[in-house]
Structure 1
Amino acid sequence: MAKGFVYLVAIVDWFSRKVLSRRVSISMEADFCVEALEEALVCYGKPEIFNTDQGSQFTSMAFTGVLLRERIAISMDGRGAWRDNVVVERLWRSVKYEEVYLKAYAAVSEARASIGRYLRFYNEKRPHSSLAARTPDQTYFDNLPDKMAA
C-alpha cells in the first residue's frame, strides 16, 4: 500500500499447512486475531495444542481466554521459537514474495480481497515441496479420518 500498513493473522494447521482462517486488519489489536481463531474452531474443530508467538495479540486475555475456555493447551514457551514458528514463517514468506510485494494495493479492502484470493490459491492449487507436491487442501482432507481418530 502506498500509505500505511495492514496486519495479517492466519490460523494454520501444522500438519497440512492449510490456512484454516485469516484476517487482515489496520490495527494490532487482538480482536481480528480472536475472530480468526473463533472461525477456525467453528469450521475445523479444536486442536489439542495451539502454538503462537508471544505477540501482545496472542498473549491477551481475549485470545488466551478462548483457548482456555475450549481447554486447548497453549504452547508459546519461546525456547524453540524458530522451530515453533517455521510453518507460519514459511507461509509469510510465500505471501510476501508471491502476493504482497507484487501488488500495490490502493485500499485496505483491495488488500483483503487480494490476499484472500492468494490464500485460497495457496490452499487449493499451490503445490508444496514439504507436502510431496500436494496442496494443503489435499493433505488436510486426505488425512481427515486420522485427525478425527486422534
Structure 2
Amino acid sequence: MARKRFSDEDILNLLRQIELSLNSGGDVSTACRSAGISEATYYNWRKRYGGMGKSQLAELKGLEKENAQLKKIVAELELDKLILKESRRFKAQGLTTANLRQAVIRVRQKLGLSERRTCKTIGMARSTHNYKSVRQNDERLRLALIRLAKQYGRYGYRKIAELLRIEGWTVNHKKVERLWREEGLQLPARHKKRRRLYHKESSVIRLRPKYPNHIWSIDFVHDRLSNGRPYKLLTVLDEYTREALCVAAKPKMGNAEVLEALYPVLLKRGRPEFIRSDNGPEFVAEGFQTWLRKVGVKPIRIYPGSPWENGYNERFNGTLRREVLNAEWFATIDQAKTVIGRWLRQYNTVRPHQALGMRPPVPETLSEVGT
C-alpha cells in the first residue's frame, strides 16, 4: 500500500480535528485512528505545527525555502573553494591556456564535476578548453622569415612581418613572433618610455610639418674610420614625409660644406619653407644664414639643450647609427658613402616606418615614377 502524503494545510486541519475531539472528552488513540494516522505521527506533527495559523504556516514555508537556498549557496561556495584549491598548483605556474586546461582536467578527475561547472569556476571558456589547434606546415614561411632576417639584420619581427605581407604572405605579427622565437632570432628589447621632466605645455612650441617641403631638419652625426680618423655626416630629412633627402659624408664640414651638400638637394626637390637645425656653429654662421634668406628659406633654431625639438632628425640619426655605423667598419670615406647610399635607398623605399602605418616613406613604385 502506497504511503499517503499530506500537505501542510492537510496536517494543520487534522491537528485541529484531533484537538476538537480531545476537547470533547475523547482519547488520543481514538482521535488518531479516526483521522487515519498513528499516535507517533500526531505527536511529531504537534511538535512541529502546534499552535500555528495559516499565516504562520506560510511564514514557516518561506523560512524553510530561504534556508534551503542558503544551504545550497554555502555548498556551492565550498565546492568552488575546493575546485580553486585543486587548481592552485597549475595556476601558480602561469595563467596560460595549457596550464588552465590541465587544471580543468585535474579537478574533473578528482572531484567528478561537470566540465561546465569546472570551467566556470576556474575562469576558462569551454570553447577554449575543447579547442584543438591545427598546426600548418610553416616551412616555406620559416625560410622566408630567415631570408629576410639575414638580409635586414637590424630589423625586429614587426618590420619583418610587414615585409612578409608585402611579399604576399597572409600572416599576423603574433605568428611571426612565434617563429622568430623558435628560430632563436634576437627580439628587440622593450624599453620603458622615459617621462619628460617637464609638462608638455611648458616646452618650446614646435612648428609642426603640414605638407611635403614644409620643414626640413638637418643635423650632424660623428663617426670614425678604421684608422681612427674622424668624419662627419650631414643628414637632411623631410619632416612631413619622413624621407631622408641626403646623407653627406666628409672629413670636415663647415658652413660652406653644408651649403655645398644642400645645393643639389634643393635643385632636385625644390626649396623648403623652413629648415630646422640646432645651434651648431656651422648652422648659425652668418654666411649660411644670409644665403638661406636670399633663396627664401626661413631658418628655425631649436632651444639650446633641447634635442627633442629636432626629434624627427634625432630619431633618423639613431637609426643610421644603429643599422649602419655600429654594424659596419669603414676604411675610407668613399666606402662609407657607398654603403650609406645603398642603405639610404632601402630606408626610403623598403623599410617600414611605424609612424607611417608600417609604410616606407617613398615606396619603390613612387620612387620609380619620380625618377
Q: Shorter-chain TM-score: which interval? A: 0.7 to 0.9
2:234 counterpart of 1:9 = yes
1 or 2, which has the higher helix percentage?
Answer: 2
Shift of 1:122: 0.9
* Aligned amino acid, residue 316 of structure 2: L
Shift of 1:9: 0.5
Question: Which shows bigger deviation, 63-72 or 80-89?
Answer: 80-89
Question: Which shows bigger deviation, 123-132 or 75-84?
Answer: 75-84
User: Deviation string for 1:67-96 (max 9, x for gaps)?
Assistant: 111121111041693332111111111111
Q: How do 1:72-91 and structure 2 match up within 5 A?
A: 72-78=297-303, 81-91=306-316
Shift of 1:119: 1.2
Question: Which shows bigger deviation, 35-44 or 95-104?
Answer: 35-44
**3-state SS in 2 of match to 1:134:** coil
**3-state SS in 2 of match to 1:102:** coil
**3-state SS in 2 of match to 1:97:** helix
Q: How do 1:107-126 and structure 2 match up within 5 A?
A: 107-126=332-351
**3-state SS in 2 of match to 1:99:** helix
User: Deviation string for 1:18-56 (max 9, x for gaps)?
Assistant: 111231010132233112221221111111111111111
Q: Looking at both structures, which has the greater relative contact order when contacts are Cα pairs under 8 Å and sequence separation is at least 6?
A: 1
Shift of 1:110: 0.7
**TM-score normalized with structure 1 length:** 0.84
Shift of 1:59: 1.2
Determine the C-alpha separation between the residues in 2 that align with 1:65 and 1:39. Answer: 18
- The residue aligned with 1:146 is none
The higher radius of gyration belongs to 2
- The residue aligned with 2:243 is 18
* Aligned amino acid, residue 275 of structure 2: F
2:270 counterpart of 1:45 = yes
Determine the C-alpha separation between the residues in 2 that align with 1:29 and 1:120. Answer: 26
2:347 counterpart of 1:137 = no
**3-state SS in 1 of match to 2:249:** strand
Unaligned runs of 5+ in 1: 143-150
Determine the C-alpha separation between the residues in 2 that align with 1:61 and 1:18. Answer: 28
- Matching residue within 25, 34, 53 for 2:259: 34
Question: Residue 24 of structure 1 contacts residue 32 of structure 1 at CA under 8 Å; is this kept in 2?
Answer: no
* Aligned amino acid, residue 54 of structure 1: N
Determine the C-alpha separation between the residues in 1 that align with 2:229 and 2:304. Answer: 33
Shift of 1:5: 1.4
Sequence identity (%): 26
**3-state SS in 1 of match to 2:275:** strand
Question: Residue 24 of structure 1 contacts residue 112 of structure 1 at CA under 8 Å; is this kept in 2?
Answer: yes
Determine the C-alpha separation between the residues in 2 that align with 1:66 and 1:100. Answer: 32
Residues 79, 29 of structure 1: alpha-carbon distance in 2 compared, 3 angstrom cutoff: closer
Question: How many residue pairs align between the two structures?
Answer: 140
